Every structure is written in structure tokens, then in C-alpha cells.
Amino acid sequence: MNTQAIKKIVIVGGGTAGWLAANHLAKNITSKQPDGVEVMLIESPNIPTIGVGEGTVPLMRQSLQALGISETEFITECDATFKQGIKFVNWQNNPIVDKPEYYHHAFDYPNLALTPYWLLHKSKHKNSHESATSFADAVTIQAKICDAGLAPKLITTPEYQGLTAYAYHLDAGKFATILTRNAVEKLGVQHLRAEVRSVNLADNGEIKSLNTDTLGEIEADFFVDCTGFKALLIGDALKVDFVDKSDVLFADHAVTIQIPYDNENAEIPSYTISTALECGWVWDIGLKQRRGIGHVYSSKYISHDQAEAQLRAYVGKAADGVNSRLIAMKIGYREKFWHKNCVALGLAQGFVEPLEATGLLVFDVTAKMLAEQFPSTKAEMPLVAQQFNKNVRKSWDNVIDFVKLHYCISQRNDSQFWLDNRDPNSIPETLKEQLERWKFQPPTQYDFASRFEIFNLENYLYVLYGMNYPTDISLIASRLTNIDNAQQEFTHIAEQAELATSRLPTNRALIEKIHQYGLQKN
């Protein structure tokens, strides 16, 4: 049994994933203590942050607070704005010119008990001219707040607290900078700049050391691969295979553009706008100074030039003369995420298209998972690695199922891209079984029993019933005995939404006040 203590961790690669890993590890293993584990990050001076998409989910708020980062500082330094969910435009049916349809995937936890009653109410309006209230409007106040362009809190609300659940839109490069400063100055992480040229393996197959261009050979007990799609350690050196998932999720490229606002007082939506197109979708994210817009698409169905033309058509004249950036995406994940004395995080671990802000979400979750169960000795490593691999694979499969859900329950048939996405042969068996079951009763918490589901019951409900999934509620209608109570709750939510929209500032107004005055500390 190898009882050798793990005393030095080297993270290879910076960017958001590398610095999230550095922060979580250093925070959890007290690297500043005399007997603590040394955490070192080696970053190439020549590789920019990819930053595909700039959206987060509410878990990021918890991470920032746990890492001791001031919310005021984060917002002012990262060009950040508030995000309360995603507005999905034209995902359900073929688009009608000048008549976009949409639904909200809100971040607020809905009143789950109301779901069957909303379905019952909706079924009664099926043949009526009166339209039923949308699912998000019925079960939460947040959709109304989003439609009104409002923020999730007041300037007097303390840091990291809000009237509704929220996350952020941010500048990925500036976010990496603030994470770097926090890790180095507060948590004692060593930051080195060098190019890793090659990896040296020990006789037992573990990584022994790294050869760099300017710092010579660097040894460590444990290595974290944050080298992006190159996967220099986990892929090139340790030969862990990549599991391709492009047969399930077809989007493999993104063309992106950054557009300044027409004027400095332009309103900022407090949600990501995700608009479905013929062969993919466009994200539209409002930061304080600019919009970040990208067309995610499948090169099997559309050329790069056509994809860029569709992006520029979406933006309009503001895109004239503005350079775009093309990003190739490798869809899938590693066969193992922890092998020998190396863990892959970030793009080296896996990636799917940035729908639902999956990238930063999985990077943060798995970095935290590694930090909180990090072994003390080499002897513990194989057992911890086995559990880590099992949990992370489950997380990735859950993410892939959830992203696929948005496509496969769509009624769009205006291109081969959408027809192929609806083909049962492209739908994972796990998702297919759930969808069949949900035709007869709405999802419940028992469908999401694992703690490692990245997306859970509430997320599925917003998408399923935002897209009018056909659950036949008549089969269980006789069990719904609290109709009066449910109606009272629907009325209460509507009244609370009206009250909130009368009190909250716009997203732009609150961000400007935070830059001017800052938020209260807890």
C-alpha cells in the first residue's frame, strides 16, 4: 500500500476551468498552511480563454460566495449582469415571420405541486379561444420579472441575496483574471507562466513530471489537466479515449460576434435569449458594455459561411464591419476523467454545446467535487478515482439528456437538422424511457433520485411544459383533489408577480447603481 502523502498538485492550463480548479482545491486543502498541500498552476502565456458563451447558473453564485469573492467586486470587474434564466424563442414550432413564440426556463424553484393542476387547467382550455397561462407564469413570479426587463434584487439587498434566484452573464476573460487574483493573493496558489512541452511518465504509468520551455522540469504528486480540447495530459500522455457524442448532439461549431450597445442606456435583458434557427440556435447575452452573440450549429447541415450569414442577419446592421470568430467544438467526454494521478477538468474533460450554460456549470461542479473528496495519500487514490469517474460520467450523461430534450420534443420540421434531432434513433435510451413515461403522468422527484443530476425536476418541467409536452393528465385527474387550493396558489403567485414588478429596478439600473455604490455586505 502506497501511503505516500500528496503534497503537491500541479494544474496545467489557466482560463476559467483552471482557475476554478485552483480556487476550489486551495480553499478545501488549506494550501497556505505549513502542512498544507502546495497548489501550483502553470499557464501558457500564448493561449487565450475560449469563453464559449458567457452564461452561468445559480450554483456559480454559491461558489463565488464560498470562495470569498465580493459580489460587488465580481460584478464591477467582470462586466457582469444578472441572469434569471433563459428565454427560448422559436424552439417549439416552425417560426412564423414577425410572430416569435417563446417560453422561459426560469431559475426560481417553482411550486412543483401545481404542475398537475396547471396541466388539468390547460387541458380544459384546449378547445377554447381563451389562452391558458404559461407554465412559468403559473408556477413562479420570475417569468413576469424577466419579461419586464427587471433585476432579481434591489440595491439595498445584501450581496448574494435576491428576491428571486439568479446567476450572471460575464466576460470570461475578466472572470479568469478575478479568479486568478483570488487564488494567488487569498489562497496561496503559485502561478507560473510557461509552455508545457512534454510529459514524463513513471514506471507505474503515472505522470512523474512536466518539461517546460522556460522553467525546466516540474515534478508533482498529482496533476490536473485543464489544457482544453488538446487534453495534453489525460489524452496525449495517458491515452484515455474520448467518447464521441455527436450522434446525439449534432452542433459542432459556433461563430461568435461582440456588438456594442447603440447607446449607453440600452436596456439589458436579465436572461439569455436562445433563438432556434434552421440548423442550430443563437445565444444573445447582454453584458454591461456589449452584447455577446453566437450561432451554434452543425456543420453537417450548414456551411460555415451560411452560418455566419445567418448570425449577421440576426444581429442586423450593427454587425457590419465587425469581425467574427469561429470555434470548433468537440462533443463528448473522456472515457475516464480521473486516471492514475491525473484528473481532467474543463474542455479536457468534456464539452457539449453551451445551451443551458452547461460548460461553466460542469467545470464548477466537477472542480468542487474533486476538491471536496481529494485524497490525502496515494493509497486512497484508486478508490476515490473510481467513485469520481462514476459520478462525473453520470453528470455528463444527465447534461446530454437534458440538452437533447430541447431538440427531440420540438415540433419543428423545417430542416433535416430538426427532423434528425427528432429521430428516435438519436435519442438516448434513458431519455426515451422518461419521455414515454411522462406521456401518462408528469415527472416527479422520483425520476431524479441521484444527487449527481446536474439538471433536476424543476429544469425538466420548465422545458417540457414550456414546449407543451403532451402529458395526458386525464389519466390521473381523479387523484387531483386540491383544485381550490391550487387555484388560490395560482392567484397568489400572480399577485406576487405584480407586486414584484412594481418594486424592482431594471437590470441596467441596478448594475449602474452597483458600479456607483456597491452592494451591502452580509
Give the tens place of pLDDT for each residue, 455-482: 999 999 999 999 999 999 998 888 999 9
Q: Which residues carry out catalysis? A: 83
Task: At 476, give phi and psi (nearest 5°).
Answer: -120, 15
- Grid cell of 406 as nine digits: 430541447
Q: Which of 26, 37, 271, 245 is nearest to 142 (CA)?
A: 271
Parallel, antiparallel, or unpaired for β 8-12 and 38-43? parallel
Give the sheet arrangement for strand 332-334, strand by strand: 242-244, 332-334, 350-351
Give the span between the Cα atoms of 387 and 281, in whole angstroms. 35
Same domain, 380 and 410: no
Q: What are the angstrom distances between the C-alpha of 495 and each of 124, 138, 485, 492, 498?
A: 23, 11, 15, 5, 5
Same domain, 209 and 355: yes
Let me know: does 207 contact 326? Beta carbons within 8 Å.
no
Q: What is the pLDDT of residue 451?
A: 72
Q: Count the domains in the chain.
A: 2
Same domain, 19 and 146: no
DSSP-derived secondary structure for 419-440: HHHH-GGGS-HHHHHHHHHTTT
On whether residue 490 sits in a domain, the answer given is yes
Domain of residue 58 covers: 8-81+168-243+331-392
On whether residue 340 sits in a domain, the answer given is yes
Pick from 339, 367, 392: which residue ends a domain?
Answer: 392
Same domain, 424 and 468: yes
Pick from 345, 364, 392: which residue ends a domain?
Answer: 392
Same domain, 51 and 149: no
On whether residue 104 sits in a domain, the answer given is no
DSSP label at residue 5: B
Give the span between the Cα atoms of 294 and 315, in whole angstroms. 10
Q: Which of 334, 366, 364, 369 is nearest to 348 (CA)?
A: 334
On whether residue 204 sits in a domain, the answer given is yes
Instruction: Classify residue 213 by burial, with Cβ atoms within 10 Å: 0-12, 13-18, 19+.
Output: exposed
Q: What is the pLDDT of residue 48?
A: 67
Give the sheet arrangement for strand 207-212, strand by strand: 196-201, 207-212, 217-219
Break the chain down into helix, strand, coil percent, rounded to 5. Answer: 40, 20, 40
Parallel, antiparallel, or unpaired for β 325-328 and 253-260? antiparallel
Q: What is the pLDDT of residue 450?
A: 76
Same domain, 179 and 43: yes
On whether residue 77 sits in a domain, the answer given is yes
On whether residue 512 sits in a domain, the answer given is no
On whether residue 210 sits in a domain, the answer given is yes
Same domain, 31 and 173: yes
Instruction: Classify residue 303 by burial, with Cβ atoms within 10 Å: 0-12, 13-18, 19+.
Output: exposed
Instruction: Classify residue 195 by burial, with Cβ atoms within 10 Å: 0-12, 13-18, 19+.
Output: middle
Give the span between the Cα atoms of 160 and 181, in whole angstroms. 20
Same domain, 38 and 173: yes
On whether residue 419 sits in a domain, the answer given is yes
SS3 86: strand
Which residues of the chain fall below pLDDT 50?
A: 52
Give the span between the Cα atoms of 236 and 275, in whole angstroms. 37
Q: Which of 86, 89, 81 is nearest to 108 (CA)?
A: 86
Give the span between the Cα atoms of 437 and 85, in whole angstroms. 27
Same domain, 345 and 417: no
- Grid cell of 99 as nine digits: 410572430
Same domain, 172 and 149: no
Same domain, 376 and 405: no
CATH of the domain at 13: 3.50.50.60
Q: What is the pLDDT of residue 130?
A: 57
Same domain, 350 and 464: no
* Stated pTM of the model: 0.95
- Grid cell of 228 as nine digits: 482544453
Q: What are the angstrom distances between the C-alpha of 467 and each of 90, 91, 105, 145, 484?
A: 10, 8, 10, 20, 26
Q: What is the pLDDT of residue 345?
A: 97
